[in-house]
Amino acid sequence: MEFIIGGAYQGKKDFAIRKYGLSEDDVFTCTEAEGIRFGAKCVNKIAEFTLWCIRNGKDAVEIFREHRAEWKDSVLICDDIFCGIVPLGADMRAWREMTGRLCGYLSSEARTVTRIFCGLEQRIK
């Protein structure tokens, strides 16, 4: 699995498409309504999935562990929401914490971890 992180609107999806030869159709974008599709070649906006988990009393890390065989060859993309000012609301703090825990787990499982900042690649792992 290849893991890409970075702030919102930094070019993560475009980078993944170029680097891994993907098409737009290869990219599944998580929403609260659609959840997540683990078998996609590329899963974008994983933080939206963790928000769904918070609102539905689920543990995102456990769900990813249960579905590891389905995403182990995918490109996974997550917005960096776990830095900066701590949110006031308890649910938003829980979302930030869960996203950070999931990113830690995914980083440990990834072949590569890449941070995208202003469209530029920074190889972390």
* pLDDT value for 63: 96
Global pTM? 0.94
* pLDDT value for 58: 94
Average pLDDT over residues 46-74: 96
* pLDDT value for 101: 96
Q: What is the mean pLDDT of the chain?
A: 94
On the question of pLDDT at 84 being above 90, the answer is no
Is the separation of the CB atoms in 99 and 78 below 8 Å?
yes
What does the DSSP assignment read for 35-99? B--TTSSEEE-HHHHHHHHHHTT--HHHHHHHTHHHHTTSEEEEE--SSSSPPSSHHHHHHHHHH
- Tell me the C-alpha distance between 16 and 43, whole Å: 10
- Tell me the C-alpha distance between 35 and 48, whole Å: 8
* pLDDT value for 35: 83
On the question of pLDDT at 25 being above 80, the answer is yes
Domains by residue range for the chain, with CATH: 2-123 (3.40.50.300)
* pLDDT value for 7: 92
Residue with tokens 């995403």: 71
